[in-house]
Structure formats: structure tokens, C-alpha cells
Structure 1
């Protein structure tokens, strides 16, 4: 039997991110979390005026939720992903990857917030 955990994780990440985008982007526009463009920049940058910022958290939420869904699917189906998480080394690498993603999200948040 094939392990479809990566496919499930990718589909879940896409679905969660798309759903959050559908809900959150209008809310960000309502709060005026839009990008401001300076006059000194190129003229074609004016089209970006008002583009919502702070949307990166939707991607992080999609990734984290898809990892939870993938783990639950793998555990229910007896897949490799859930079994490998019981190994201390692989679990630490997995958690280090999540920590790095969260740190990059924090940097992106600070960048958007400062703008």
C-alpha cells in the first residue's frame, strides 16, 4: 500500500491557505493593512498601492495545520510519517524545521508591521 501522506499534506496546506486567504484578505483590506508606495519609486509600483500585507501568517497556518492533518492521517493509516516521529532524532529535525518556519514568519511579520 502506498503512503499518500505527502499528497494529503500538500492538499491540506493548499486548502487551508486558500480558505484563510478568502476570509482574511478582505478583513486586512478593511483594517487598511495595505502597502504604501512612495513617490520616488518606479511608476509601475503605484499598482501595488493598497496591496494587503501580513498575509504570510496564512501560509504558516496552512503549513502547521497540514502537518497536523498529515500526522493524524498517517497515524490512522499506519503510514511511515507517524512512525518516524517516534524516533528522537527525526522528531528533533521535524521540530527544528517548524521552529525555523515560525522564526521566518516572525521576521516577515516585523517587516510588514514596520512598513
Structure 2
């Protein structure tokens, strides 16, 4: 089990995705604390389809990035445009229901 903080989390996740074939028998999990996935260019590199071959690992990474985006958006750390762009990068066409739900919640709370 690997535990990583801040930018080191991004670096460890990138290394795991790159060397997963060699490390999959040695690493049972990855826990990240305050890793800036939504705000760094390396997040896009990690999420490229060619970078993560294993579907399960890719799904986990997508979930981590998506949850970080949610928290950043709810905390006001990123604006609507950045949120939508990052969600589109992570979720592709699945991001549109998220935008719709987000706009509905925004209208109900304002």
C-alpha cells in the first residue's frame, strides 16, 4: 500500500501507471492526500487512454480525479468553465449529465 501527499501523489500515480506491469504484484493500493489532479497538466497525461492499459486501474484513477474535481468545485477552488473542461477530459460524453445536474443544483440553491 502506497500513501502519498500533494504533488508526490501525482508522481506516484504516474509511475504506477507507467510501470504497472512490473509493480502489480507488489502494490496493493494507492492512497493520496491533497494531490492536485484537477489543477496540473500531468493529470491530463495520466488520463490519456494509452497511459493506463489496465481497465480497472484506469477506472480507479478516473474516480480519484473526478472526486477531486467535485471537492475543488464545491469548495470554490475552480470555476464553472474549468470544472466542465476537466470533467469532459475525465468522463468524456458521460460529463454532460454531470453538468446538467450541477446546473440544476445551482439554480435550486440560488
Length-normalised TM-score, structure 2: 0.29
Identify the structure with the greater strand proportion: 2
Identify the structure with the greater helix proportion: 1
Question: Bigger relative contact order, structure 1 or 2, given CA contacts below 8 A and separation 6+?
Answer: 1
Length-normalised TM-score, structure 1: 0.28
